[in-house]
Copies of this chain bind each other. A is one copy, B any other.
Amino acid sequence: MSEEGFRPGEIAVALPEKFDAGIYFIGRIRTPWTKRDECPKNARGSDAVCTIELDARYAPALEGVAACSHLVILYFMDRARRDLVVQAPRHHSEPCGTFSVRSPVRPNPIAMSVVKLMRVEGTTLSVIGLDCLDGTPLIDIKPYFASVDSVPDAVVGRSKGGTD
């Protein structure tokens, strides 16, 4: 890390002066991890059951969700910087373009995880497959459709199927 907070090879850009749209935090994600270095390296790195606590306001929107075996969860990585276009994640050997990695550091720090739904009780969902810090803001819940979302033979050349 340099004095400016950069690792070697990292490139920052000036972000636009203002935001183009706003988002609501619609709930919170509860996980066993309270520090960044405790989090699993990726969403298959732990079988821990985490909970998604949806705000009561949106409760009727869960109708039908229990019929899904898997969900797509979007959440906001609110502690990540947003200005790096090239970054050097700890476990990569060289700097990477931001859009080639799943790091939380990106212009819009919205993470996407596919989770296995275990249980819905009121506005609390128990799931397996999250890797984020406890208290992370929730922004969306979607049904996972294998027909459009599953591509078993997809490849990422750089890491030959590894994940970040």
A→B interface (CB under 8 Å) = 11, 13-16, 18-26, 42-44, 57-65, 67-70, 72, 74, 76, 78, 82, 85-86, 96-102, 106-108, 110, 112-114, 116, 129, 137, 139-158, 161-164
Contact = CB atoms under 8 A, between A and B. Distances in A.
Pairs A-B, 5 closest by C-beta atoms = A19-B22, A63-B97, A64-B100, A67-B157, A61-B98
- Most chain B CB atoms below 10 A, which of A72, A140, A141: A140
B24 A108 contact: yes
A108 B139 contact: yes
Nearest to A87: B61
B154 A100 contact: no
A110 B107 contact: no
7 contacts: A13-B58, A24-B108, A69-B155, A69-B156, A106-B140, A107-B140, A113-B148
A85 B112 contact: no
B148 A144 contact: no
Contacts of A100: 61-65, 67-68, 143
